Structure 1
Amino acid sequence: MIDAGHGGHDTGTIGPTGLMEKDLCLDVALRLGKIIEQRLPGADVVFTRSDDTFVPLEERTNIANQAKADLFISIHANSSRDHAARGIETYYLNLKGSAEAMEVAARENATAQGGVHELQDLVMRIARTEKIDESKELAEDIQDSLARRIQKSSKPVKNRGVRKAPFVVLIGADMPSILTEISFLSNPADEQMLKKPEQRQKVAEGLYQGVASYLESMNSVTMNLPAKPGAGHPAPIAVEQSRNQN
């Protein structure tokens, strides 16, 4: 499941010369989906939105759960009052986070109905999920691959690492889920770079490589588990494709 952040009347952050987060995220999401379909023929790629439509935060993981998605990738662009701030970072769900991470979550949660203030309900819902560790691993793979891919740009982007924060869009997901901030739109140089199709393609490639690395590691774990009586080990490609049905 690929989730392009914001959409419709929710523009997200807007760069100094007018690039909207919602448009950037959608373009990168569609590019990522195309790459997955080309390189993982057995994959069924589903989007929370494929056009300029507003989808409430609370509905996005519901869409993923109903589709029985294997992974949930939410794509966003960052913003800061410090226009010199730049870099990429990837998040997984957790109530605890740094002050800076909580500020990012508050901005991305702005359109939520109730948001992160209903902490008791949040705690209960997070406690029910068994996917926090898997989400952290997915976040690490995506952050690493994305950073290495974008570092090849003419103007390398800072690797800000993996972080944790209470993003509403990740709450209730039945699958490993992450939110990635692919750069700072508030940074004039980054905004100009993200206007270029080739840079967006590099971002999509980095995201794909992260997903592929995660699937490969999960496939390795599966192959090393004891086989059930009378059952043989599935072929590696079959395992990867079956994990990537949605």
Structure 2
Amino acid sequence: GARSASGIKEKNVNIKIAKHVKTILVNRFKYRVVMTRKDDTFIPLKDRSKISNKRNADLFVSIHANAAKRKSAHGIETYFLGTSHNERALETAARENGELVKSDKDNQVQQILASLITTTKINDSSRLAGRVQQN
């Protein structure tokens, strides 16, 4: 992972932010939060998405801190599952969302249901991303 100019590791910042976000979501909004990682244990992204899918999560948040050589670099990026047909975006969506993205082998009913679920999640994710960017 990335390191700051002073040697702070991205993974240490991320876990502190994630725990703080969990506290806010649980205490203020009464959400049930499942952490895929609570310490310095590495969990591959595909396994994190499996945990989320097994728990029937309504939301999957992955917190990262970018690194840049320019000290003037600042801001945030927010990504979510979308309808992009860009090859790289589709690969990222498949990797990030695991079983949510269905294959062409599914029967027609499963494809329709998957499309409805995906559309709902895209809309919800888009609204959340907008709120994150505004705040």
Q: Normalising by the residue count of structure 1, what TM-score does the alignment of the two structures yield? A: 0.40
How many residue pairs match? The answer is 113
The 1-side partners of 2:2 and 2:68 are apart by 10
- Work out whether 1:134 is the aligned partner of 2:124: yes
Amino acid at match of 2:81: L
Change (3 A) 1:126 1:86: farther
- Deviation, structure 1 residue 133: 2.3
36, 41, 52: which one pairs with 2:40? 52
1:91 is aligned to: 79
Aligned to 1:63: 51
Aligned-residue offset at 1:80? 2.5
The structure-2 alpha-carbon separation of the partners of 1:142 and 1:126, relative to structure 1 and needing over 3 Å to count, comes to: farther
Query: 5+ residue gaps in structure 2?
Result: 104-113
Aligned position for 1:20: 9
- Which of 1, 26, 30 is 2:19 aligned to? 30
C-alpha deviation, 1:126, in angstroms: 7.1
The list of structure 1 runs, each at least 4 consecutive aligned residues, that deviate by more than 2 angstroms after superposition, is 80-84, 93-97, 124-130
Unaligned runs of at least 5 residues, structure 1: 1-11, 106-114, 146-246
Query: For residues 81 and 58 of structure 2, what CA distance do their matches in structure 1 show?
Result: 16
Shift of 1:96: 6.1
Q: Which has the higher contact order (CA 8 A, sep 6+)?
A: 1
User: What is the rounded CA distance, in whole Å, between the counterparts of 1:89 and 1:44 in structure 2?
Assistant: 25
- 2:101 is aligned, of 110, 118, 125, to 125
Measure, in 1, the Cα distance between the counterparts of 2:65 and 2:7. 14
* 1:153-192 → structure 2 map (5 Å cutoff): none
Q: TM-score w.r.t. structure 2 length?
A: 0.70
Distance 2:85 2:71 in 1: 26
Q: Distance in 1 between matches of 2:51 and 2:70?
A: 35
1:65-111 per-residue CA deviation (whole Å, 9 max, x = no partner) reads: 111112112111112243321112212234467xxxx7xx9xxxxxx
Partners of 1:13 and 1:126 in 2: how far apart?
33
State the match for 1:144 in structure 2: 134
Quick one: distance in 2 between partners of 1:134 and 1:50? 26
Which structure has greater strand proportion?
1
The separation in 1 between residues aligned to 2:6 and 2:69, in whole angstroms, is: 16
Return the alpha-carbon distance in structure 2 between the equivalents of residues 125 and 66 of structure 1. 15
Residues 96 and 13 from structure 1, CA distance in 2 versus in 1: closer, same or farther, beyond 3 angstroms? farther
* RMSD across aligned positions (CA): 2.8
Aligned mates of 1:135, 1:45 — CA distance in 2: 17
Higher alpha-carbon Rg: 1
Identity %: 39
SS across alignment from 1:138: helix
